């Protein structure tokens, strides 16, 4: 074992199973997904059940008012598929309109940061294509917790305390999450009857009710009354899109990500650049970390310059992954010096990632988000829907790649991944964390494929994240306090501005993963101790 790993014992065992496995950032959600597998459902049924349950028990990172992306492998056909379930900007959302409203930059919170939520339609499309038990069965666990009550965990309580103190928090949020003005304590029982009614309507009538029925009418009326731009016509025009995943080879794997408007290309560029470089003796060695951080800087420069809704991109996404182009970018990495940053980003972004695999060979890698915490700070009355603030990623600079345009999908940080070995699924992986997501992908894939760690050990390793915590701040390389002191010293000597933070810091995001051992027929699950995560199987 590398000396860089010896000081970091694995805290949790890998979850091993043969008939099915679900990894999610909350144990109740993981169990809800497993219940679907035991009831005869498949990985799609399990993923939707876990996702819906998270919206009740972990609502500060995920909700019906957000977007959804998924990668899946269908065992029967042997095909991989991708789903872009992100929504578009309102037809009234022009740069000129925002200027008239007094905005010189995109608002980070409030109703003017809201785009059409894509989650409900994403559920419907996944279930229609590959599910087995139907939405009514898949949403039953979430509805039960919302109606009958669920125990408030420490992460949710802390998030409610933080959100209650924010100046952008609207009274509609307070009425839903802090009834009577009281923040539920950790260990107390909370209920969400309004959200239960909305989930039941979707279970009974399908996603149509969210976009063209009674729920849509409530969303549109609420936005109109509170000064938002979303209309009933914007909701009715929404549809998810089946897309073709992109991939690069990495350490014997073929790693797949969704195309733009996600930043999946960014993760693939980082992996593609690192794949051709010599690394240190372990995943925490200074040579390994330095090369990875430098690859991140180059990939994020391309992200800032090119990535947005593919209908508006100035280059083909595949061109950014061409071997010759990646070779050119790789050659710009100096192993002896940190280069200046060229693509400031931000860490913030609250999301859930989960994955599910069944005994038949089906795999789902799913990510869903409200974006920053509870999103915009608004909850549609009588629905329990926290509207996300994903539109904050747009730019009001008309020359920017991600400039605001009516009916446009913004650049998205959400990136589920799948990897294959010899054409068969080998790994489902993802993480929350905004701009940190591709950085976490790079570190975990490197630990797994280049250094042979198991999925739980790879997730538990101390992580780094590079960027600015808030827009306009200088970029810093932040490392968890468990990072080797010799690596930190070496990185500073190379010119990195390094800041040590908490030993298990939520800033690093929450990662989950499933390794599929095709030869033995065994599933290996890993869950992140930085959240209330669990990997459960049977």
- Nearest Cα to Cα of residue 283 among 31, 533, 451: 451
Say which of 53, 351, 420, 446 is annotated catalytic.
351
Backbone angles phi, psi at 427, to 5 degrees: -160, 135
CA–CA distance, 260 with 318 (Å, rounded to integer): 10
DSSP-H helix ranges across 182-256:
193-205, 208-212, 214-226, 232-236
> Given the DSSP bridges, would you call strands 67-74 and 20-24 parallel, antiparallel or unpaired?
unpaired
> Given the DSSP bridges, would you call strands 476-480 and 498-501 parallel, antiparallel or unpaired?
parallel
Cα dihedral: 431, 242, 303, 438 (round 10): 20
For the question of residue 105 being annotated catalytic, the response is: no
3-state SS string over 296-333? Answer: HHHHHHHHHHHCCCHHHCCCCHHHHHCHHHHHHHHCCC
Non-local CB neighbours of 460 within 8 Å, separated by 6+ positions: 8, 10, 11, 12, 528, 529
Measured distance between the N- and C-terminal CA atoms of the chain, rounded to whole angstroms: 31
434: phi > 0 → left, psi -120 to 50 → alpha, else beta; which? left
Helix and strand element counts for the chain (H, E)? 19, 21
CA–CA distance, 71 with 63 (Å, rounded to integer): 19
CA dist 34 → 8, 454, 469 (Å): 30, 22, 36
3-state SS string over 105-146? Answer: CCCCCCHHHCCCCCHHHHHHHHHHHHCCCCHHHHCHHHHHHH
CA–CA distance, 418 with 430 (Å, rounded to integer): 9
Three-class secondary structure of residue 295 per DSSP: helix
CA–CA distance, 25 with 506 (Å, rounded to integer): 12
261 preceded by cis ω (within 30°)? Answer: yes
Three-class secondary structure of residue 519 per DSSP: coil
DSSP-assigned letters across all residues of 64-108: TTSEEEEEEEETTTTEEEEEEE-----TT--HHHHHHTT-SS--S
CA–CA distance, 110 with 492 (Å, rounded to integer): 40
What are the residue numbers of the active site? Answer: 351
């Amino acid at each position: 074992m590398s000396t860089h790993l010896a000081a970091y014992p694995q805290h949790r065992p890998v979850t091993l199973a043969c008939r099915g496995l679900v990894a999610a950032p909350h144990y109740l959600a993981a169990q809800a997904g497993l219940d679907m597998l035991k009831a005869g459902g498949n990985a799609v049924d399990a993923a939707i059940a876990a996702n819906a349950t998270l919206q009740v028990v972990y609502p500060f990172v995920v909700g019906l008012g957000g977007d959804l992306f998924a990668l899946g492998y269908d065992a029967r056909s042997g095909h991989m598929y991708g789903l872009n379930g992100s929504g578009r900007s309102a037809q009234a959302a022009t740069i000129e309109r925002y200027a008239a409203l007094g905005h010189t930059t995109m608002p980070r919170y409030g109703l003017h940061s809201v785009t059409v939520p894509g989650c409900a339609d994403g559920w419907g499309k996944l279930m229609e294509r590959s599910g087995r038990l139907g939405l009514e069965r898949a949403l039953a666990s979430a509805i039960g917790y919302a109606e009958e009550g669920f125990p408030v965990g420490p992460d949710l309580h802390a998030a409610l305390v933080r959100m209650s103190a924010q100046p952008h928090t609207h009274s509609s949020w307070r009425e839903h999450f802090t009834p009577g003005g009281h923040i539920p304590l950790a260990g107390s029982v909370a209920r969400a009857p309004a959200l239960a009614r909305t989930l039941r309507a979707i279970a009974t009538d399908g996603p149509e009710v969210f976009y063209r029925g009674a729920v849509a009418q409530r969303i549109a009326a609420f936005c109109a009354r509170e000064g938002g731009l979303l209309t009933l016509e914007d909701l009715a025009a929404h549809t998810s899109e089946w897309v073709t995943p992109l991939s690069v080879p990495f350490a014997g794997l073929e790693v797949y990500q969704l195309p733009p408007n996600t930043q999946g290309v960014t993760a693939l560029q980082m992996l593609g650049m690192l794949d051709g470089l010599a690394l240190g003796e372990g995943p925490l060695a200074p040579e390994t970390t330095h090369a990875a951080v430098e690859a991140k800087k180059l990939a994020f420069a391309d992200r800032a310059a090119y990535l947005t809704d593919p209908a508006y991109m100035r280059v083909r996404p595949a061109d950014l992954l061409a071997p010759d182009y990646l070779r050119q970018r790789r050659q710009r990495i100096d192993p002896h010096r940190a280069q200046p940053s060229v693509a400031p980003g931000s860490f913030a972004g609250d999301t859930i990632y989960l994955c599910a695999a069944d005994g038949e060979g089906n795999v789902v890698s799913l990510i869903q988000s409200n974006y920053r915490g509870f999103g915009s700070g608004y909850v549609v009355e009588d629905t329990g829907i926290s509207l996300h603030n994903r539109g904050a990623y747009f730019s009001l600079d008309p020359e920017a790649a991600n400039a605001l345009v009516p009916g446009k999908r913004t650049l998205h940080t959400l990136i589920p991944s799948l990897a294959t070995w010899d054409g068969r699924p080998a790994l489902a992986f993802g993480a929350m964390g905004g701009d940190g997501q591709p950085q976490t992908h790079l570190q975990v894939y490197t630990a797994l494929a280049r250094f042979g760690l198991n999925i739980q050990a790879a997730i538990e390793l101390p992580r780094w994240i590079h960027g600015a915590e808030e827009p306009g701040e200088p970029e810093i390389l932040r490392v968890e306090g468990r990072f080797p002191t010799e690596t930190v010293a070496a990185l500073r000597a190379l010119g990195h501005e390094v800041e040590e933070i908490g030993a298990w810091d939520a800033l690093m995001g929450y990662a989950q993963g499933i390794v599929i051992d095709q030869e033995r027929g065994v599933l290996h699950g890993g869950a992140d101790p930085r959240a209330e995560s669990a990997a459960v199987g049977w």
